[in-house]
Every structure is written in C-alpha cells, then in structure tokens.
Amino acid sequence: MNQLEQLKTHTVVVADTGNFRQLAQYAPRDATTNPSLILKAVQQADYAPLLAETVAAHRGQAHEEIVDAVLVRFGLEILKVVPGRVSTEVDARLSFDTRATVERARTIIGRYEQAGIGRERVLIKIASTWEGIRAAAELEREGIHCNLTLLFAFSQAVACGEAGVTLISPFVGRIYDWYKKVAGAGWDDAANAGENDPGVQSVTRIWRYYKRHGIATEVMGASFRNVGQITALTGCDLLTISPELLASLQQTVAPLARRLDPEEARAADIAPVSYGETGFRYALNEDAMATEKLAEGIRLFAADAGKLDALIAAA
C-alpha cells in the first residue's frame, strides 16, 4: 500500500480544499473549506461559472445571504464526492460576536437542509475565540455540529472539550512557522522534525489529554507544511490535508507506522484542567505563539472574506 492507503487504516483522511474536482482521486471521507480556499477556487476558470450562476440565482437578496449561498453551493458539490462531512466556515469577522455567529451558523445549516442535506453531514467552522466556543456550545445543544478552527493553544482545546464541540482543528504548520521564525538562524530543521516538531507536539498533547479524560471531541490535525508532520500524527482521529500533500502520500510506498496510541494515552498520568472565561483568556494571553497566530489567522480569513465579497458584488 502507498502511504495514503496506510494512513487511512489508522486515521480518517480529510481533504483540505474548495476544489471539489480534485477530491475523487484521493477518496477522502470528509472535506474542509475556509474563505481562503473558496476564494482560490472561484478565481479559477473551472469554478467561475458556478459563482456567477449562484449569484444570479440569489440576486436581490442581502449580500451576506448571497455569500452564504456561494459557500453552501461549494459544500453541496463537495458532498456529492465525499461520503462524510463538509466543513463550512462562519465569517471570521464575527469571531468575537457569539450571537451573530450562532445566527449565521443557523442560516448556513438551514440552506443545507433546504437542499436535502442532514445536519450530520455538515460541520460549522468557527474560530476558537472564547466567544466562538460559547457559540459552538449553544449550537451543539441544537444539534448543529461544529469544527473549532484556528486552534493553537492547549487552553483553547480544553475549553472546546468542556463545551462539547464535535471536532477541533489544531493547526500544525502555523505553529511550526511561528517557532521557526522566532528561532531565526538558530533553527535546526532536522532537530525540529517528526515528533520534535512543535506543531506535532501541540496536537499530540491535545489528543492524549482528550483520550486520557474520555473527551469525545474529535481531534483533526490541520495546516500541514510537509508530509513528515502528517506521518508523525498517524493515529490522530482525523487529519485534513491539502491535495498537494495527499498526492505526495499517494506516490510514496515506504512503511507507515501508527504513532499515536490510544491505550497508552488512556493510561497516562495527565491531570485534568478546567478554564472559566478569565482563566481561558489569561492562559491564551500567556501563550505568545497562540495569541499571535489566532489574531493573524482571523485577520487573514477576514481579508479573504472581504475579497470574496468583492468578487460576488462584481459578478
């Protein structure tokens, strides 16, 4: 078996793309999208007609309704290819507004349901701010399942588990980027590879904590820079991977062993932790990497959401 096939025996493979025409060749179970991926897709000639068609069908509606229609249209196309779930993101500009996030999530789910898609096949992506986590807790009580994204800190993961969210997406590559940038000329690629990669270590710590304390929230490693980060997390609940890295795995036939062992994690000596709002905010503030990457991630997604707005307005 190639490494992609081997990985699937231990971990649910998810495709991280808005380009649904690429999906079939990798046979992922689920797929994830975000504003940046959708923006990239709609600027391609293959997808421009889909954007124009969707905008034309909803012309005269409020702008945010048209935006949601475009996002859901891509989700519907993805669900024709994958047997599992698609993640569709709430506008990052709502990351600090619990009520607006809840309302936007309900609207997105409503569009999927109108198209005949059940809630079990959709994950609403929300940034892992305190406000986003509170919104997710409310949505989960309504049977709307959530994927908490832009997750960099252990405190974010603990709060998501306590909130009962369905899934979290801790970012591997962006954590790696931060530590590499801070280290500058002193960075040693070889010494910080595999299980020593700071992004890999972050996801491993979260996964082990969840397994040790019976937390049902699924852990989906995300934002990979290289195949080594993926293989070091073999055994994680899910991994969402770009088409480029899926292709690399598919073209490699070297043996791939499971790295994360649930039995070992359940037996580990890991103390439980709990965060109220004040503790959460302080713990996040104390983590310079997480604070910076969360803020940066929201800004970048918000900027791409704005660019998507402009494309839709011009269509």
Give the catalytic positions in this structure. Answer: 125
Q: Are 198 and 192 in contact (CB under 8 A)?
A: yes
For residue 41, what are its two tokens? Answer: 């897709």
Q: Comparing C-alpha atoms, which of 169, 4, 7, 15 is closest to residue 83?
A: 15
Q: What gap in Å lies between CA 66 and CA 61, rounded to an integer?
A: 7
Q: Comparing C-alpha atoms, which of 71, 38, 33 is closest to residue 54?
A: 71
DSSP calls for the chain: --HHHHHHTTSEEEEE-S-GGGSGGG--SEEE--HHHHHHHHTSTTTHHHHHHHHHHTTTS-HHHHHHHHHHHHHHHHHTT-SS-EEEEPPGGGTT-HHHHHHHHHHHHHHHHHTT--GGGEEEEEE-SHHHHHHHHHHHHTT--EEEEEE-SHHHHHHHHHHT-SEEEEBSHHHHHHHHHHHGGG--TTTTSGGG-HHHHHHHHHHHHHHHTT---EEEEB--SSHHHHHTTTTSSEEEE-HHHHHHHHT--S-------HHHHHTS--------HHHHHHHHHH-HHHHHHHHHHHHHHHHHHHHHHHHHHH-
